[in-house]
Amino acid sequence: MLTFDTPNQVVVMIEHLLKEKVIQSVKDLYGAEVSVKTVQIQKTRPEFEGDFTIVVYPFLRLSKKGPEQTAEEIGNYLADQLKEVESFNVIKGFLNFVMSNSYWLAFFNDNRDDGSFGKVYAAEKEAVVVEYSAPNTNKPLHLGHVRNNLLGWSVSEILKASGRKVVKVNLVNDRGIHISKSMLAWQKWGGGKTPESESMKGDKLVGDFYVMFDKEYKCQMVELVESGMTKEEAAKKATLILEAQEMLQKWEQGDHATRKLWEQMNDWVYDGFDVTYKRMGIDFDKIYYESNTYLLGKKLVDEGMEKGVFFKKDDGSVWCDLSEEGLDEKLLLRADRTSVYMTQDLGTAQLRYDDYHPSDLIYVVGNEQNYHFDVLKIIMKKLGREWAEHIHHLNYGMVELPHGKMKSREGKVVDADDLMDEMVEIARKTTEELGKFDDFTPEESAKLYEMLGLGALKYFMLKVDPMRTMLFNPKESLDFNGNTGPFIQYTHARIKSVLRKAEERGVSYSDRFELPGALEEKEKNLLKLLHDYRQTVQMAAENLSPAMVANYTYELAKEYNQFYHGHPMLKEPDENVRNFRLGLSGFVGNTIKSATGLLGIEVPDRM
């Protein structure tokens, strides 16, 4: 969770005004000063009448009266001072306010056509650096990467919308023993194959050779175990792993032939990644490469040795003793001076700080790496980098499937490209079965299926709290009647359809509105939900949780559909009421589009 210097100060509407008046009421009624943090304002619970609730218990020691009497006195004071308050009621120590129609209509008129409603784009001097994706160049992106990319991108966009300056970065793990394995396999069994010769994406071709290495490596280990070795000994002495280690050493020594093969195979993978990223809607402001950062990491290890922060074992390997922190020893350099993940992460962290001097460094990485980032933070502090305190690990749970976890070394992985293809195909079948689209051309239909399929995937991934492990169910994610992306997308299309029909009939609803009577319950419920959008964006940013935006959007869409079925618009005889409802529909549609945009989801104008 990030710390905002001015939490929620952009939400200056009635909440801010109520806090000011509560502070003044305590001063005038009881002669005491209270801080803004003492004033607790929340939405009134559904079972009680009211829009906003103030908790008065913190003021009892100042009023020296019971909760009900204190609440009545503060309530009368605020009702007298604020024209926006229509009435209030007291439930024990809770003061519930009902806001006037004029307040809600003023909110509606002032914000319904604001294209930036709910967002604050205040360019800060210090950036927040968000790292996500971090693929290895030995295999294609898979289902786990999908959650990582969608989460990192959405968090970045939400932070931007909350007023933060954001730099989206990717660290490509383009070197190391895993890369050497796929390179060695291509050398041995590739026969000169290229993506062009095989008519396949480069990342998939390289991934096939990584799987091939693992298969042959396991066969060698079985033979060695049968000859009398232990499994651990066989894993270290198999010919293939020794050759892969030798290739890694050659790479680090700058061997020309090794480097040339490495560049060729990595280029294949990058071309494949770019296709996947583009379709997924993922982008970055800067891409770092481990092959460039690990050397800086080695320099930091040498610095730690000079400062006495690290130590060297008899075999020449370098370690950091973390026993004082209740942890164990951490390897930083192998005996042969080749680097490990921690080495390059030290270098990458330093490089990002030098590049941006960020207020926060956020790493979007699965929760199995919690220990790794705890150690990274401790080691950087030991090296004297005080800014390491602002390293945040946004950990997330793994994506599970009905048949269990994915194992990329065995080739049992849900490929990201295949997953997107499957989602679009399910969207096509579901949409055609339900008949939920107009007379589209084949091109328009294909675009709609892509929008629905990827929208379903993104929403399903992002509606779950990041820290939770999730079970992904493609068919469930495309239910047009549940808490899904397609339900929200269909709601947006429904709103656009209503507005198109109004336009075709020459109905104008662009003026400021004044209603002759009170707002109906569903109308007011929609306005209250729209009112919550600003605060939802801020809270999602503070908690680094797109799930807050996703579930808010679902609640807004659900409430609109209830309103739509119970409140006629084009057939409404009262012109003022009709126009207000059309304008309210437009406000809801714009907010749905804004919120889904923060999730990377497109919404159709018609279906």
Q: How far apart are CA 155 and CA 360, in angstroms?
A: 13
Which pLDDT score, from 0 to 100, does residue 5 have?
45
Closest alpha carbon to 31 in 4, 64, 58: 64
**CA atoms of 138 and 513, how far apart (whole Å):** 60
pLDDT at 411: 46
Checking DSSP bridges between strand 52-55 and strand 85-91, what pairing results, if any?
unpaired
Q: What angle do CA 280, 281, 286 make, to 5 degrees?
A: 115
Cβ atoms within 10 Å of 122's Cβ, excluding its own: 9
C-alpha to C-alpha distance for 406 and 142, rounded to whole angstroms: 9
pLDDT digits (tens, 9 = 90+) for 455-486: 999 999 999 998 888 888 888 888 888 899 99
Residues of the chain with pLDDT under 70: 1-13, 122-124, 401-412, 436-438, 515-516
Q: What is the pLDDT of residue 297?
A: 92
Q: Which residues of 354-392 are buried (b: 16+ CB within 10 A; e: fewer)?
A: eebebbbbbbbbbeebeebbebbbbbbbbbebebbebbb
What is the per-residue pLDDT for 412? 58
The whole-angstrom separation of Cα 318 and Cα 578 is 74
- Which token pair is 63? 């009023």
Tokens 């809270």 identify what position? 539
* pLDDT recorded at residue 437: 67
Q: Name the one residue in this structure whose structure tokens are 């929340």.
A: 42
Question: What pLDDT score does 475 carry?
Answer: 83
Domains of the chain: 14-103 (3.30.1360.70), 175-284 (no CATH), 416-598 (1.10.730.10)
Q: Which residues of 306-345 form beta strands (DSSP E)? A: 310-312, 318-321, 329-333
| H-only helix segments in 282-415 | 290-307, 341-356, 370-382
Place of tokens 């005491």: 32
Helices (H), 308-395: 341-356, 370-382
As a whole number of angstroms, the distance between CA 23 and CA 332 comes to: 55
DSSP string, 511-579: S----SSPPPHHHHHHHHHHHTHHHHHHHHHHHT-HHHHHHHHHHHHHHHHHHHHHS-STT-S-HHHHH
The structure tokens listed for 598 are: 């923060």
Question: How many angstroms separate the CA atoms of 514 and 574, rounded?
Answer: 12
**Structure tokens given for 601:** 């989801």
SS3 percent helix, strand, coil of the chain, rounded to 5, is 60, 15, 30
pLDDT of residue 410: 47
130-181 residue pLDDT tens:
999 999 999 999 988 999 999 999 999 999 999 999 999 999 999 989 999 9
pLDDT value for 7: 37
